[in-house]
Amino acid sequence: MATPPLHELGAAQAATLLARRELKAEDLVRACLDRVAARDGTIHAFVHLDADAALAQARALDAGPIRGPLHGLPLAVKDLFDTADLPTAYGSAVYAGHRPAADAASVAMCREAGAVLVGKTVTTEFAYFTPGPTANPHNPRHTPGGSSSGSAAAVADRMVPLALGTQTAGSIIRPAAYCGVVGYKPGLGRVMSAGVKSLSPTLDVVGAFGRSVADAALLGAVLTGDLRLLDDHAHGTLRIGLFPSPSWPQADADTQRAWEIATSALARHSDTCQDVAMPQNFDELIQLQKDVMTFEMARSLSHERLHHRAALSPQLVALLDAGMAISGATHQAHLQRTADWRLRIDSLFERHDVLLTPSTTGVAPEGLGATGDPLFCRSWSLLGLPAVHLPFATGAQGLPVGLQLVGRLGEDHKLLAAARRIHERLTR
């Protein structure tokens, strides 16, 4: 079998070669930088790149001992994360040229594990809905999704094997779906968020993009410190709960077809697929997520709201004004309702190991003026459950489509092990 070009190597495969010293970090990083030079004029995934520094990091790694599980792997970082050696603007002109004093905790951990930081990727304005210039690698006339636009696009276009992103509503799962890569959103509280621009402490999660479940799990293991995420075997029969959700009528033909493909393929194996008994009033979680996010974003971005209002997009200003109109007492009631739902939803996992559910309403919409609807992600973000997007099909327009798996809080390792097995069956 012919060896693929270096920039096409997945993270898990490249990590093995690097650890055996069968591949030089400098060669891998150079191949990825060449791919960026060839493609980023079209895709616009990166907002800042430092090729010389990345190559210097790679040469230092080649000259020293193996640093860790990410040794020599090129990594792209969403421009919501502080980086000490690269500008961090949070997707806003307010912070143009801003140079943080220190790395975000997650960035520092990735460097400690041997990752080579190639550059910062485009995020929407403060990770809300106003998009940057990034285009979808499968068709540049279509959105890559957001807010982790550049991270998903860079991995999909083979510019880097791994990238960091964040999710508050649907900002990992949705761009992963639109760009056709694996997106892993850890369970709430599994990854330290220090040094990442805070939007909604109740909802914000740091996560990973890769080209396979194994790739995303490799980065996830470093971020969480949980080596169980590297276990590639789901033990015993999987009990897969089919959860189309109350929003299913808004899924288009492409998502419905992906659902049919998946449920048919999984039914042919020994795993069990059962319809989930839909919790009563589950659809209220969508508005509840919006309310919690709106209240907390308005206060998290108080400095920007008070001192840089004219530099913010009208869409963000409207959100912040709406958030300030929600009282603290109302927000506490929302948080209590959220806590009640988190306890209630846990009972589903007594009967099901994982839940299969849509990631998006359909394939990436045409146009770069919006990033798509996070409808099918909002409830899971509110609940704080771990989730992973699995790409496996193509829609009518030739764009990628897939579904997400959701796991029990605290059981990310079981979710990823199940995701590996299920993804293999869906992509045979």
- How far apart (Å, rounded) are the C-alpha atoms in residues 307 and 214? 44
Catalytic residue among 148, 149, 171, 245: 171
- How far apart (Å, rounded) are the C-alpha atoms in residues 117 and 21? 20
CA distances from 345 to 170, 185, 272, 312 (A): 19, 18, 20, 37
Helix (H) or strand (E) holding 330: helix 328-346
Q: Locate tokens 């293999």: which residue?
A: 424
Tally Cβ neighbours within 10 Å of residue 397.
14
SS (H, E, C) 165-230: EEECCCCCHHHHHHHCCEEEECCCCCCCCCCECCCCCCCCEEEEEECCHHHHHHHHHHHHCCHHHH
| 106 part of the active site | no
CA distances from 427 to 85, 158, 208, 258 (A): 39, 19, 21, 12
Catalytic residue among 92, 147, 212, 300: 147
| 171 part of the active site | yes
Inter-helix orientation angle 328-346/375-383, to 10°? 90
Helix (H) or strand (E) holding 259: helix 253-267
* The token pair that represents 360 in the structure block: 């998006």
- How far apart (Å, rounded) are the C-alpha atoms in residues 261 and 350? 26
Which of the residues are catalytic?
Answer: 78, 147, 171
